[in-house]
Each structure stands twice: as C-alpha cells, then as structure tokens.
Structure 1
Amino acid sequence: MAKVLIADDHPVFRRALGDIVGQLLPSTGLAVVEAADRTQLFEIVENDDVDLILLDLCMPGMTGLPELVAIRNIAPATPVVIISAIDDTTIVNQAINCGAAGFIPKSSSMEDLAAALKQVLDGGVYIPGSDEAREKRGPAEADALTPRQLAVLGLLSAGKSNKEIARALSISDLTVKVHITTIFRKLGVATRTQAIVAFQRERAQVSNN
C-alpha cells in the first residue's frame, strides 16, 4: 500500500488531492497522511515513512525552498512534488534544482491536476513550461543520480517492469514511478529507452575523460 503525505493548509484542497491520488491508485491501495503547517510537516517527515510528498511551499511557518531542501536532507529517497499557488518560472526552476520531482500550479483545474499527477505517477515529468525550463537548466549529468536511482536505472536497463523493480528493491510501485520521473528529469529524457541510452552515453564520456 502506498502512503502519500499531503502538506497544505487548506483542508478542502487536501481532501481533493487525496481523492485524485486515490482515483489514480485504485489497485495498490492508498494511505494518506496530512499536514497543515510546518510543524506537522516535519513531525511526519522525521517520524514516518511515506512514498510521496505533495507539498505546498506557502503553509504557515514555511519560508519556501529552505523547507524543501530540509526535507530532501531528512528523506532523500522520498520524492517531493510541489503543488503551489506560486508558478513563477524562477521559483519552479529553483524548486527542481533543489530536488523536487515536479511542480504543479494550484491554478490548474482539478482535471489538469489529475492529469499532471497521473503523468508524474506514470514516470513522466510535469513542470509548467517544461521544455523551456529544461533548455534553461540543461541536461543533468548521470553522476547526479542517487545510489537508489542508479539501482532503478540498472534494473530498467535489464528490462525489468515497475513491479519487478519494486520487489527487487523492497519499495512500493509508486516510489518506483517517482524515481523514474526523477531519473528522466535529471537525464533530460522522456522514455525508458532514452534514459538507458543517455546514461550509457554519460558514463562513456566520464570514462573517456
């Protein structure tokens, strides 16, 4: 069963997000934990194991990106997707560079929110103006991948499915999907085949230097 932390100070929006994620993961089951402010957020992050964090940067007590960095330091293997009323391109790019697995504006309709979350859970990347943002950032190097992401990529290269990767690494299917999303973002690709080719190319370049 996947466990998702929804951190937002608006209870109606938290419930709506929970309903959307529940509809996207009907077969795996879902446990939702909620945080309405910074204190609750870090109590959960520090004491509970979650598979995915949906994070509002503007909850009470929050300063924004520093909390994202702190979460990544406490739980580096837990993917964080920002869902925020702020959709400034600079903030979006900074959030991605700080380790966010995606950025979804609250200004999106519920249908668009659902489509964006589905894209992330299916191993894609949803970032406002993603093509332009990727061009500004440039492709990340393969060396930036974490050990767990390298393990996922290695199993992808061996032709393993998401379920097989989850069993091999003792993680949930949801965690595998978000790891793949992050791998795609870091390598600047959109498919599994492209990720494998890009990784092999990066490693070959490193070996030749």
Structure 2
Amino acid sequence: MANATPERILVVDDHPLVRDGLRSLLAVTFEHCDILEAAGVEEAATVLASHGDCDLVLLDLNMPDATRLSGLVQLREAFPMVPVLMVSGSFDRALVQEALSAGAAGFLPKSMKRDGIVNALHMVMAGEIYIPDTGLEETPASAEEAQIRTRIDSLTPQQKVVLHHLVHGRLNKQIAHDLDVSLTTVKAHVSAILQKLGVFSRTQAVILANRVHFD
C-alpha cells in the first residue's frame, strides 16, 4: 500500500485552513503529487471536468452547496471512476454505512491522528475501502443481511458502480459504453464482484444486492 503514488488529488472543503492542512499532509505523504483545491461541490465538478484524471477526491461532508451526502452522489454520478473519500468532523455508524452505500471510497474522521490518516489514504489508493472504527453497536439487522452489506462494502467504488449497472439490467457492453472503459475492464470488475460477494453468477449478485436495497 505504501507504494501507491497518486499523480493528482482534489481537496474539497469550504474552510481554507482545512484545505491547507490537508494539502500539507498530502504533500508529505505523496511526493510529487499535484494537489488541487475546491471550496464547493460545484467548483469541484468544474475542476474534475478539467482534470478528469484525478486519482482521488477528499470531500468534506458539510459543504455549503450540498446537503448531507448529496455532494458525494453528485460527484459519483458525474465522475464514477474517480474515488471519493468522505471527510468529516463528526460521524456515526449509520452515516458511514450510508456514505459507503452511496459509493464513497471510505470515511475519514478529522479527529484521527496523522499516522491514521496517512494509513487510510494509502489503503484507498491501493483500491481498498477505509472504514473507521465507530465504537458503536450496529443497528439491528438480520445476520444474513449484515453479511451481505459487509461484502458489498468490500467492493471498490468502481465495482459498486458496475454493480449498480448490473442491478439495473445493463449488459457488459452497455456498461463499458456508459463508463467509457473497455469491455475487458468491465469483465474484470464483474469477476471481482462475484468473487467478493461469494456468488457464481450475475443473477445471484443482483439478488443479494436487492436483498439490502442496494441501488
């Protein structure tokens, strides 16, 4: 994970001091990385449109031009192949779960120590999902559904996008066209999805996703 070297990261936060702090941390963590900034979700969308090859977006939860996770949803829909790591000063298990279900690459508490943040960044850049230890009891749910959610949470943001298309009955060629990626890439994502969900067919994957209302 320590060898993950992003070329460009976008920091989205309406507080200049927070952006400066994250910029300093990122500059030390990822040498030679181009760090972009945006003070709002709309500005972030504009920046991403101009720099579509961003490797990661750090998005603050509380933005003036977004409500709760609407900023995450907006960026994921417009730029589905760019991982978005949520950042927040306050969180709970339900919020973390909601963010992951909406396609976040992880949830980063601002209260974390520097080493913890660095480790989380490396995990996300390595294609993993970072989930903080909330220290709270899980909300009541059947053991089977909880297991399904855990498996879905293990998917990368890109794999969740592909699963979303599978749930809506899209074929591999259609998904490749919609996401502007190769058919080989889509097939690789589908194979990884089946493996992580512990199923043997697209139909089984869709059934599991529908069990927990994944969309």
Which residue of 2 is the match for residue 174 of structure 1?
Answer: none
Kept in 1, the 8 Å contact 2:14–2:38? The answer is: yes
Query: Which letter does structure 2 place at the counterpart of 1:62?
Result: A
Match of 1:154 in 2: 188
Query: Would the alpha carbon gap of residues 122 and 24 (structure 1) be closer, same or farther in structure 2, given more than 3 Å must change?
Result: farther
> Which residue number corresponds to residue 59 of structure 1?
63
Are 1:87 and 2:121 counterparts? no
- Could you tell me which amino acid in structure 1 is paired with residue 83 of structure 2? P
**Residue 202 of structure 1 aligns to which amino acid in structure 2?**
V
Alignment of 1:140 with 2:152, yes or no, is yes
Q: Are 2:56 and 2:125, in contact at CA under 8 Å, matched by a contact in 1?
A: no
Q: From 174, 199, 202, give the equivalent of 2:199.
A: 202
Equivalent in the alignment of 1:118? 122
The structure with the greater share of residues assigned to helix is 1
User: Residue 34 of structure 1: which of 21, 34, 37 is its match?
Assistant: 37
Paired AA for residue 2 in structure 1: E
Q: Which amino acid aligns with 2:68?
A: G
Is this contact kept in 2: 1:45–1:74, CA < 8 A? no
Letter in 2 for 1:79: P
The number of residues matched between the two structures is 168
Deviations along 1:96-127, one digit per CA (max 9) or x if unpaired, are 00000110111112232122212222333221
Stretches of structure 1 that go unaligned for 5 or more consecutive residues are 158-182, 188-195
Change (3 A) 1:70 1:87: same
**Structure 1 position 3 matched with structure 2 position 8:** yes
TM-score normalised by length of structure 1: 0.65
8 A contact 2:84–2:106 mirrored in 1: yes
Q: 1 CA distance for matches of 2:28 and 2:115? A: 12
Q: Deviation at 1:54?
A: 0.4
Over 3 Å counting, the alpha-carbon distance change for 1:48 and 1:122 in structure 2 is closer
Alignment of 1:89-104 (within 5 A): 89-104=93-108
User: 1:30 Cα shift?
Assistant: 1.1
Identity in percent: 29
**Separation in 2, partners of 1:5, 1:93:** 23
The runs of 4+ residues in structure 1 deviating greater than 6 Å are 130-134
Higher RCO (C-alpha 8 Å, min separation 6): 1
Asked whether 1:48 is paired with 2:51, we answer yes
* Runs of 5+ unmatched residues, structure 2: 1-5, 139-145, 163-175, 208-215
